[in-house]
Structure 1
Amino acid sequence: MNVIHTVKQCFTIRSLKVFHKQAFSPKYLLITNCCISVTLSSVGDFLEQQYELYSKDIEKYSVKRTFHMALSGLTVGVACHYWYRFIDTRIPGRNLSTVLQKVFWDQIICSPIVISTFFITLGLLEQTSKDEIIKEIKEKAWRLYLAEWTVWPPAQIINFYFLPNKYRILYDNTISLGYDVYTSKVKHGK
């Protein structure tokens, strides 16, 4: 019995290693990053909706809302995938000065783009007008941007200093799970 269990365990570990190598290879990295972003954006909205149900802010769980948040995760995942490639090409290296430059430009350029992409994606999915999307960005984006300045600079120092590019979206989305809950709250809160 122990031998069979050990063989199964080795097969599973070997399978995971093969999967990991393929998933994080340049050929499949965009797909992997998008899957990670979709999954964790969905989980973030699911958790927020569970809290809203518990606190009686909503009466019923909305699968459509979670689906829309997942699709916003997809668009944000694509944007971040290409952003990380771009910034690593333009500002190569991992010394402290370089990392701080990357963090600065990440906050000044990428954050506003990602926040706008989030609201535009959801606006299109919800079939709201261009004027309504712009109004929502003006009313709510600053809250997300302020939260970004609290969460992301320390997180991105770790991301840019220690991690190779291929793991940035995975790390980003892991840190972002709590932020995704907040993003869902800002988007759907009254």
Structure 2
Amino acid sequence: MNSTRKNNDPYLDDLELVNHFIKQQKWDNQMVIFYPKEQGSKYLVEDIRKLVSLVQDSHIELLPAAFQLTSNPRVVLNNGSSHFVLINIRTYTEIKKRITECNFFYSENKHDADYRFASLFLMESRAILDLAHEIEVDTRNLSPQDFIKVAERTMKICLDIFGKEIQANNVFEYFFLTCSERYFALPELSFIRRKLMLRLGSIIGGHGDYYS
């Protein structure tokens, strides 16, 4: 029965895991899962229209929002008084696959790797929402400086939730990999990554031990 459900719905495990962490942290009033069904473009557009209506904002144009929602794992929208993040579970799983298959992030336990990625992605989403009043929240075009701000805030959220346990090391791994993927074409990538690592290290303290 469970096997049949997973075959018919390959995103079910990720959907349940992401929803579990969101509810666990009581973030469900600001994070909405966008799950486009493979039932044709008509259903897809209707689903997008419904989601955009959740954050009624006269400044949001449907077509640009629809494009962002179908091509990005995370989109931040503003309803005029607060920000919301919409998570496309299908594109989320594509990024999760690329990150968790790296040796730097690898775990023999797939569920463990999936949980670590879900928690890191969602803590990063929370950090973006917290910083939305300070930085441009177009998550496709974050400057390296703003990306580092998001990483720092994510580390603080991680420490609040998990304490100084192994999960904090995962923040290093996650942002090293996502930074490398996001800014791979920039000639100063190595400088950006070094600054990122040092700033994260300064938050947890004793970052020299991390590099030893």
TM-score if structure 1 supplies the norm length? 0.37
Higher RCO structure (Cα 8 Å, ≥6 apart): 1
TM-score if structure 2 supplies the norm length? 0.34
User: Larger % of strand: which?
Assistant: 2
Larger Rg, first or second structure (1 or 2): 1
User: Larger % of helix: which?
Assistant: 1
